Amino acid sequence: MAHTAVIAGVGPGLGESLARKFAAEDCQVALFARSADYIDELAADLPDPGEGLAVQTDLTDADQIRDGFEAVRNEFGPVDILVNHASAASWKGLMDLDVEEFERSWEVNGRGAFICSQEAVGDMLEIDGGTVIFTGATSAVRSLGGAIGFTAAKFAARGMAMDIAQEFGPEGVHVAHVVIDGQIDTPGVHDQFPDREDETFLDPDEMAETYWHLVEQDDVSTQPFEVHITNGPQNSEFI
């Protein structure tokens, strides 16, 4: 039976690579994002044998998230793979960040992932388990200073991942947290960093292979929790 995967937060780069990789592995892939045109085109262009479903969703809106999961169930059935991939960055320090900006980071990285996980794990408990993957960042494990909203939100998401893993691992739900320690090769990033060599960027297609490997590792007794993806030693400019 084909897997049903929800990728919560899809855009050019790693989100798209995850969708293409999962579809190539015969998954039914639901794409959650606010940009309807982009995910409509991507859903129609996913490789065989997978299927795509575009679900326009604001991941700060609890009702839209729950409605999105219901749309996936109606189209594909229960969800057994979730990637909490959405991220809202705020590159300001304590004295410069206002409450609204702080809450925006938390709403996407924290609350949005919480609601998505509730919906997906509820399905997984009714079937034969599943996989929940959180996309993290360097700031999820070590604060770098000057990005307090992003750091707080990513720490929160990592803590949620740990808690879900401990609570539901024995029920067959594999939870993993992926620390991305580097700059992903996305459209326009070379113009943003013109002085960097190509090999300093992380290849999103290769990263997607790591995510799929986590899905395949379904032995309850040997489930890895945290994976770091980097192109070399940890670098303080990567957050």
Is residue 201 very low, low, confident or very high in pLDDT (cuts 50, 70, 90)? Answer: confident
174 has pLDDT over 90? yes
Name the 3-class secondary structure at 133: strand
Sequence ranges of the domains in the chain:
4-230
233 has pLDDT over 60? no
CB 93 within 8 A of CB 49: no
Name the 3-class secondary structure at 186: coil
pLDDT at 234: 45
Cis peptide before 224 (omega within 30 of 0): no
- Dump pLDDT digits (tens) for 137-169: 999 999 888 999 999 999 999 999 999 999 999
pLDDT at 152: 93
Percentage of the chain surpassing pLDDT 90?
77
CB 94 within 8 A of CB 152: no
141-153 burial string, b = 16+ CB within 10 Å, else e?
bebeeebbbbbbb
3-state helix, strand, coil in the chain (%, to 5): 45, 20, 35
239 has pLDDT over 80? no
pLDDT at 199: 67
Average the pLDDT over 42-49 and give the result: 96
Average the pLDDT over 13-39 and give the result: 97
Task: Enumerate the β-bridge partners of residue 202.
Answer: 184
- CATH number listed for the domain at residues 4-230: 3.40.50.720
pTM score of the predicted model: 0.93
Query: Which are the contacts of 74, defined by CB distance < 8 A and separation ≥ 6?
Result: none
Average the pLDDT over 197-219 and give the result: 88
Query: For the chain, how many residues are written?
Result: 239
pLDDT at 222: 76
- Residue of 80 and 221 predicted with greater confidence: 80
- Dump pLDDT digits (tens) for 108-143: 999 999 999 999 999 999 998 999 999 999 999 998
